[in-house]
Structure 1
Amino acid sequence: MLTLRALLADPALELRLLVPGTEGALDAEVVWVHNTELADPSRYVRERELVLTNGLWLDAAEPAGFVAGVRRAGAAGIVFGLRTERASTPEGLVEACRSAGLPLLEISVEVPFTAITRAAAATYAAERQEALVGLVRRGNALAAAISHGAGASGVLAVLRRDHDLPLAVVDRMGRVLGAAGAQLDTEQAATAAGALARRPRPLEVDLGPAGRATIYPVGAVGDVDAALLCLRPVTALDRVERDALEQAARFLSLEVARQQTVQAIEQRFASELLDMVLSGAPRAAEVPGRLRAFGVDPDAPLAVCAVAFRSGDPTLPGVVEAITDFFLAESLPALVAGGSQDVVAVLPWRRPQADLSALARRLVAALAARFPTREPVAGIGGTAPDAAELRRPLAQAREAVRVLRARRGGPDVTTFAELGGYRLLLGLQEPGQLQRFADTVLGPLREHDRRRGGELEATLRAFLDHDGHWGATAEALYVHVNTLRNRLARVAELTGRDVSRTADRVDLFLALEAAGDPSRKVGA
């Protein structure tokens, strides 16, 4: 760094210190040199420039006025060049600099100002060369860390070899991917993730007790997927530190992209495994190998837990990752697969059922903390003795969570065994068989409603939801009782099932439950 002290230490410049200025002034950075003979150079001198002058302005101005202008510009100091005609620095200039606290140096008659300019240029060239060499060396180290699988923490460790900065990497889901010299709690990580989602994206984020952190976006596949956080405000970072942080953020993009690719492959494998389980015998032989790939013993007793949200979409971006993180924190191997209606976790389980319910409640609480505006629910199927028997507990867990989503209020965790008797009956059937039954019974109603814009299915649901009470149903639908009777008579004509007969009412009820509420369906 170019400083007045460094210039004074160069014997070739033959500089002499006349006024040291304020404390630390000799060690502050000098950004460049500026030669001027104007009586008031304040309009042209940049902040932290070193003013070089021969004092030709002395015939037109007083030293105090010249010094005031230099001080007003925020200059680093003054170098007075001696001439044959003026063999000493004017005492008035010395006194003015001393009063203003501005450093004053004197250069001999034998040394031109260009020598100072060359010294400054050489210093900056050396600094730039050192910075470039550092960038190349650090780039090689960062590339090695990425190629050797050191992850985000390995990238941060390389950066901290050169710069003692508190660092962390947080993705847009609020997960801490790596840290070095900094510790972020869940709330701080969520705050950083929220800053990433804002438009325009801020340069800094306030992390409360941790102070303000500078944000360096980390992009992976066309968007910002994470942030390199330096737990210092941007004004506290020098140019070299900022360059190093920007370089690290670019290498982190490679690591984040790699992680996303791995996660996408794992999710595809996990989803395919669920399809294998549901398809039955044709692909049953592939299931054990897939489970082993996720660290789950296929020969151990296996439990299935399905998770969704009551409000809005049943799943959200980042839910699979959050559930995976939960099981990692619990030191439990688990296969976690996301679908359009729920997220399913398969895990080995040799403990009592009550412990599994307690685990599911902790999972729901963790998701509620991660997604505070949503209502997570979890359904638990029975326990399979091994991978060959996973089909039934998988269907049971999904049915249990579907029931919880349909309810407003009530428990947020349930087992399949705790559902009503008709739920147990439905859960024991093949999904394809249930759908065919529902289509057979309800198909004519839905075709009628589609063609005529009718509300026969909605009317039937409301009638059964109100336990067959005509008055309560009519009031809920805002129609006259006679209108309700006409609609249900039409239902009987189309389906061949009369709501006044118990057997027919059971058929209609089971068909509606098997089909699910169309208004709640999201995605395929």
Structure 2
Amino acid sequence: MLTIRSLLFDRSLGLRLLVGGAGEVDDLSFRWVHNTELPDPSPYVRPHELVMTNGLWLESGGSVDVFVGAVKDAGAAGIVFGLRREIPNTPAELIEACRTEGMPLLELAVSVPFTAVSQAAADRYAEQRQQDLIGTVERGNALVSAVSRGGGMAGVLEVLRRDHPLLRLAVVDRFGRCPAAAGAELAPEELRSVAASLRRHPPPLEVELRDPGTASLFLIDTLGGRGGAGGALVCLRASRDLDDSEREALEQAARFLSLEAARTQLAQTIELRFASELLDMITSGAREVHEITNRIMAFGIDAQSRMAVCALAPTSSETEPSTGLAELIGGFFTAEALPVVVAESGQDVVTIFPWLRSGEALKSFAERLIDSVGAQSNHRLVAGIGDIAANAGELRTPLVEAREACRVLRMRAKGPRVADFGDLNMYQRLLGQHSAEVLRGFAADVLGPIRTYDRDRGSGLEATVQTFLERDGHWAGAAAALNVHVNTLRNRLARVTELTGRDVSRTEDRVDLFLALKADSLSRGR
């Protein structure tokens, strides 16, 4: 924006300020100049323009009050009245009308044409744009330097505040976390409000906060065009109160914050992949112990210390994806000053971390973990934990136990949110001691003939057995669930007996079928 003060300081124009308007002279600014002699120029005047007139509209019966009111309604920045031989002095009624409306009024000498004012405005605009461009380039260089030397998001805000020290800024992500701030401290409810806004489609560009009220959001894209925004640079000032240079600086900083967020996200992706490979090593048992040990040590964990394994997942009733859980879980452990391996899979997120306390203390820790992460992700989470491993070489069994406990908890509509393997039913504990290959083999031996029959004839014998067992052998209840007659159900189960040699009316045969179905489910979950 150009300033009226800069025109007044130009002695070649000979401008005089007759009415200062509603504010101080230093605060008076305008976008451009507009020359008019219409009695009502409001349809053609744009906001923040400086209106120049010789008052020819007075000679055609125009009204001073109408003219000034129209200029004010159009949002103009002020009026320049150009004197001429016919009107050597600014009309008193014009001065009074401008004073009444709070409209700045300048007087231009007879000898100075309006083109001189236009030229002066153009010169100042060019100078300002040049300064802005130089400032943008210099700030860009400083931002590049801040990011390249590892200053992170805090370094970006530091550069921005160097040019605009009055701006109060914070970076907030879609989980309500604030990785960097400068001059602003947002309360927890304000962070949640910003996070909720970022999850909207499309995200708004302003949000209402307790202090100062309306805040501007400059979006940070980390979602790869999947909708919403990964975060925002929050400026505690409404968008309408930002000038052009501030807005341009904020937009430039937001672009660099997007780059920094993408860099951080890439590093986290690589770390997650590294952790997933470690999980595969532990689960398969096909690698040498020293390879697992080296990987564990790469995460800052003493491979010879006692370690806990905790598997977390949203409950099966959750419909939203678990995207971002690993990042939130990692943030929790960072706040706890605990090194951790965080590995994300399609079914759960597994954490491995040093633990020198008791198993009961581990359950309390897991409760705090899912409370914290669940509140940030808007998920109802459950956590399964295994026995505490003596060292890195003993992680396989605790890992299997934790994941199985988590899988069982996910299927339960009610009950505890945290459980260790010892809390599960005995059949789950027994099955959990075997490898996925053994479980698949057992399931194939028992269920293989049924599956072949279903595949060849398009029947549903396996689903029939599962439904019958889930209804605790209740014939009428199972038939209703399958939407068939009880006699049809009896015929199907008779066919199962023919194919498998297991009769559902015998307890030991029913147990075989039940365990085969559970073994198959468990082996697929691994």
Is TM-score (shorter-chain normalized) higher than 0.5?
yes
Q: TM-score, normalised by structure 1?
A: 0.90
Is residue 386 of structure 1 aligned with residue 361 of structure 2?
A: no
Partners of 2:454 and 2:394 in 1: CA distance: 41
- Deviations for 1:142-180, whole angstroms, at most 9, x for unmatched residues? 101111111112111211112222222233444433222
Which residue is 1:135 aligned to? 136
> 2:5–2:25: 8 Å Cα contact kept in structure 1?
no
Residue 468 to residue 53, structure 1, CA distance change in 2 (3 Å): closer
> 1:20–1:103: 8 Å Cα contact kept in structure 2?
yes
Partners of 1:515 and 1:128 in 2: CA distance: 70
Percent identity for Structure 1 against Structure 2? 55
Partners of 1:193 and 1:316 in 2: CA distance: 16
How far is 1:509 from its partner? 2.0
Q: Which amino acid aligns with 1:316?
A: S
How far is 1:351 from its partner? 0.5
Q: Secondary structure at the match of 1:52?
A: strand
How far is 1:263 from its partner? 0.9
Residue 74 to residue 425, structure 1, CA distance change in 2 (3 Å): closer
Which residue is 2:76 aligned to? 75
How far is 1:301 from its partner? 0.8
Which residue is 2:349 aligned to? 343
Which residue is 1:507 aligned to? 512
Partners of 2:60 and 2:481 in 1: CA distance: 96
Q: Which moved more, 1:499-508 or 1:293-302?
A: 499-508
Partners of 2:267 and 2:215 in 1: CA distance: 29
Residue 449 to residue 180, structure 1, CA distance change in 2 (3 Å): farther
Q: Which moved more, 1:269-278 or 1:85-94?
A: 85-94
Which residue is 2:459 aligned to? 454
> 1:306–1:378: 8 Å Cα contact kept in structure 2?
yes
- Deviations for 1:261-286, whole angstroms, at most 9, x for unmatched residues? 10110010000001111221434321
Is residue 311 of structure 1 aligned with residue 313 of structure 2?
A: no
Residue 77 to residue 498, structure 1, CA distance change in 2 (3 Å): closer
Q: Which amino acid aligns with 2:515?
A: L
Which residue is 1:251 aligned to? 256
Question: Which residues of structure 1 form unaligned runs of 5+?
Answer: none
- Deviations for 1:78-124, whole angstroms, at most 9, x for unmatched residues? 33334455543444544444455444333333433333223222222
Q: Secondary structure at the match of 2:434?
A: coil
Residue from 326, 341, 345 that aligns with 1:320: 326
Which residue is 1:433 aligned to? 438
> 2:440–2:519: 8 Å Cα contact kept in structure 1?
yes
Partners of 2:136 and 2:271 in 1: CA distance: 35
Q: Secondary structure at the match of 1:333?
A: coil
Partners of 1:96 and 1:359 in 2: CA distance: 72
Residue from 309, 330, 336 that aligns with 1:330: 336
Q: Secondary structure at the match of 2:110?
A: coil
> 2:175–2:377: 8 Å Cα contact kept in structure 1?
no
Q: TM-score, normalised by structure 2?
A: 0.90
- Deviations for 1:355-386, whole angstroms, at most 9, x for unmatched residues? 001111122222332344x4321111111111
1:487-502, aligned counterparts within 5 Å?
Answer: 487-502=492-507
Is residue 212 of structure 1 aligned with residue 214 of structure 2?
A: yes
Which residue is 1:355 aligned to? 361
Residue 458 to residue 38, structure 1, CA distance change in 2 (3 Å): closer
Which residue is 2:374 aligned to? 368
- Deviations for 1:182-224, whole angstroms, at most 9, x for unmatched residues? 2345554444333333333322233456633322222246324
Is residue 194 of structure 1 aligned with residue 223 of structure 2?
A: no
Q: Which amino acid aligns with 1:60?
A: S
Which residue is 1:145 aligned to? 146
Residue 89 to residue 462, structure 1, CA distance change in 2 (3 Å): closer
How far is 1:456 from its partner? 2.0
Which residue is 2:298 aligned to? 293
Which residue is 1:54 aligned to? 54
Q: Secondary structure at the match of 1:512?
A: helix
Is residue 126 of structure 1 aligned with residue 131 of structure 2?
A: no
How far is 1:346 from its partner? 0.7
Partners of 1:88 and 1:468 in 2: CA distance: 106
Q: Which amino acid aligns with 2:393?
A: A
Q: Which amino acid aligns with 2:29?
A: E
> 1:404–1:412: 8 Å Cα contact kept in structure 2?
yes
> 1:20–1:26: 8 Å Cα contact kept in structure 2?
no
Partners of 1:345 and 1:89 in 2: CA distance: 80
> 2:339–2:353: 8 Å Cα contact kept in structure 1?
yes
Which residue is 1:282 aligned to? 287
How far is 1:132 from its partner? 1.0
- Deviations for 1:416-450, whole angstroms, at most 9, x for unmatched residues? 11222222211111121111111221122122223
Q: Secondary structure at the match of 2:386?
A: strand
> 1:63–1:93: 8 Å Cα contact kept in structure 2?
no
Partners of 2:348 and 2:342 in 1: CA distance: 11
Which residue is 2:205 aligned to? 203
Q: Which amino acid aligns with 1:183?
A: E
Residue 100 to residue 165, structure 1, CA distance change in 2 (3 Å): closer
Residue 441 to residue 188, structure 1, CA distance change in 2 (3 Å): farther
Residue from 418, 426, 435 that aligns with 2:423: 418
Partners of 2:502 and 2:172 in 1: CA distance: 58
> 2:212–2:237: 8 Å Cα contact kept in structure 1?
no
> 1:335–1:345: 8 Å Cα contact kept in structure 2?
yes
Q: Which amino acid aligns with 2:214?
A: R
Residue 446 to residue 75, structure 1, CA distance change in 2 (3 Å): same
Partners of 1:16 and 1:231 in 2: CA distance: 37
> 1:63–1:92: 8 Å Cα contact kept in structure 2?
no
How far is 1:342 from its partner? 1.5
Q: Secondary structure at the match of 1:216?
A: strand
Q: Secondary structure at the match of 1:384?
A: coil
Q: Secondary structure at the match of 2:47?
A: coil
Residue 496 to residue 354, structure 1, CA distance change in 2 (3 Å): same
Which residue is 1:45 aligned to? 45
Residue from 461, 479, 485 that aligns with 2:490: 485
> 1:135–1:244: 8 Å Cα contact kept in structure 2?
yes
How far is 1:478 from its partner? 4.8
Which residue is 1:397 aligned to? 402
Residue 273 to residue 126, structure 1, CA distance change in 2 (3 Å): same
Which residue is 1:169 aligned to? 171
Question: Which residues of structure 2 form unaligned runs of 5+?
Answer: none
Count of aligned positions: 520
Q: Which moved more, 1:277-286 or 1:243-252?
A: 277-286
- Deviations for 1:278-330, whole angstroms, at most 9, x for unmatched residues? 22143432111111121221110111111122225796111111221222222
How far is 1:337 from its partner? 0.5
